[in-house]
């Protein structure tokens, strides 16, 4: 099944991308912004497989089947994190990376055909089972996370707003990442849940450190219910040739409409029901009973029905049409959900649909920030 590869803004040249291959000589799948050719790696597809549910909501057999099906369909980019799966608990910590590593070994997927990204956990005041509950994202924690990772491919730091005024110097974080790059443990770096200031500061200091690789991506939430990326970070990404890896394109499944149909609760095995009371981060952001969320989802569902597509297809196609989105991470737990995601990569939204979408957004802006 052919899927489109990612793209940047129309007036920008292709930018370097993530690569999972031999660590001896760094290489990239596209030319850099300055036109220098760097080849030898796969193109990252329009969607990539998230492993956040694997090892908790999805058991090992179903997780491995989903990874197989995604790879067979052309998905070659897989995202994980040391804190996965969620909801986080000590008994399952690291299981998502372990399952992904097990799949890579069993599948014997050629290393030059697969892209793997993982993330180091920052301070949260919780997750004491991860390195004793890191109080900061310092060089020691970054190094430990990379050394302990089951898939030590891509170091991606996470922003924690609760520590924004007490965080360790970015220089210290870059030094640790640079050491890991030089040692061949990771290839390229990105940021997650970042702010415009944080992104620009990382870019500025990474140039001063003369790292062997540049910062390539930022992974933030972007969907019909959360378009905060457009209000500041998008401008930074546009001018600095940084791609968005958008997570939660379905807003934790809310945009499928399943939580607001019939009994207004949704299927009992849906994530927000299955882990009700155990997933504070998701529940605080995605307020199912919020009148604005309900109203917005109803309107988007009506738009999808009007044009003969599913609400999920509308949601994912909307994200993929953004010129700065390199790839959107999906969290399918069932094969039919994976197929729906793949179908959305072949959908082009007409201008008239986007007008209706923007009308809803103007009325109910970012109800899930």
Alpha carbons 29 and 21: distance in angstroms, whole number: 11
**Location of structure tokens 């790879």:** 71
Query: Is residue 345 within 8 Å of residue 315, measured between CB atoms?
Result: no
Is 307 an annotated catalytic residue?
A: no
Burial 239-268 (b: 16+ CB within 10 A, else e): ebbbbbbbbbbbbbbbbbbbbbeeeebbee
Alpha carbons 99 and 136: distance in angstroms, whole number: 27
Alpha carbons 288 and 260: distance in angstroms, whole number: 8
Burial of 44 (0-12, 13-18, 19+ CB in 10 A): buried
The candidate with the shortest Cα–Cα distance to 48, out of 291, 327, 333, is: 327
The candidate with the shortest Cα–Cα distance to 8, out of 251, 206, 234, is: 234
Q: Quickly list H helices, 241-323.
A: 271-274, 280-285, 291-306, 311-320
Marked catalytic residue, from 84, 159, 247, 286: 84
Cα-based distances in Å from 329 to 116, 207, 272, 286: 12, 28, 18, 18
Q: Quickly list H helices, 108-160.
A: 139-148
Hey, what are 238's tokens?
Answer: 């546009």
Alpha carbons 11 and 32: distance in angstroms, whole number: 14
Alpha carbons 74 and 2: distance in angstroms, whole number: 7
147: left (phi over 0), alpha (psi -120 to 50) or beta: alpha
Query: Is residue 323 within 8 Å of residue 9, measured between CB atoms?
Result: yes
Strand order in the sheet with 154-158: 115-117, 77-79, 47-50, 325-330, 243-246, 215-219, 188-192, 154-158
| Radius of gyration (C-alpha) of the chain in whole angstroms | 20
Alpha carbons 94 and 102: distance in angstroms, whole number: 12
Active site amino acids: 84
């Amino acid at each position: 099944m052919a899927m489109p590869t990612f793209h940047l803004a129309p007036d920008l040249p292709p930018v370097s991308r993530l690569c999972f291959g031999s660590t001896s000589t760094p290489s990239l799948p596209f030319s850099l912004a300055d036109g220098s050719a760097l080849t030898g790696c796969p193109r990252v597809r329009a969607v990539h497989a998230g492993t956040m549910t694997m090892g908790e909501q999805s058991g090992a057999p179903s997780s491995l089947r989903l990874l197989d099906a995604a790879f067979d369909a052309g998905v070659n980019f897989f995202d994980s994190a040391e804190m996965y799966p969620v909801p986080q608990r000590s008994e399952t910590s690291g299981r998502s990376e372990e399952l992904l590593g097990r799949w890579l070994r069993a599948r014997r997927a050629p290393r030059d055909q697969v892209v793997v990204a993982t993330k180091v956990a920052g301070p949260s005041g919780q997750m004491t089972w991860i390195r004793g509950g890191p109080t900061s994202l310092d060089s020691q924690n970054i190094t430990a996370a990379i050394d302990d990772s089951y898939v030590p491919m891509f170091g991606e730091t996470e922003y924690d707003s609760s520590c924004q005024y007490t965080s360790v110097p970015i220089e210290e974080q870059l030094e640790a990442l640079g050491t890991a790059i030089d040692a061949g443990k990771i290839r390229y770096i990105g940021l997650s849940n970042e702010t415009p200031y944080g992104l620009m500061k990382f870019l500025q200091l990474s140039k001063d450190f003369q790292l062997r690789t540049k910062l390539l991506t930022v992974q933030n939430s972007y969907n019909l219910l959360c378009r905060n990326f457009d209000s500041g970070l998008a401008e930074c990404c546009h001018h600095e040739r940084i791609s968005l890896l958008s997570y939660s394109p379905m807003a934790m499944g809310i945009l499928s409409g399943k939580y607001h149909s019939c009994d207004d609760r949704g299927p009992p095995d849906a994530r927000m029901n299955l882990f009700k009371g155990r997933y504070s981060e998701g529940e605080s952001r995605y307020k199912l009973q919020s009148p604005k969320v309900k109203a917005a989802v109803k309107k988007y569902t009506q738009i999808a029905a009007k044009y003969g597509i599913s609400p999920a297809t509308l949601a994912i196609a909307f994200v993929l049409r953004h010129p700065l989105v390199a790839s959107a991470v999906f969290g399918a737990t069932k094969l039919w959900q994976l197929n729906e995601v793949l179908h959305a990569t072949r959908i082009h939204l007409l201008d008239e649909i986007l007008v209706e979408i923007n009308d809803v957004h103007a009325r109910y802006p970012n109800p899930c920030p």
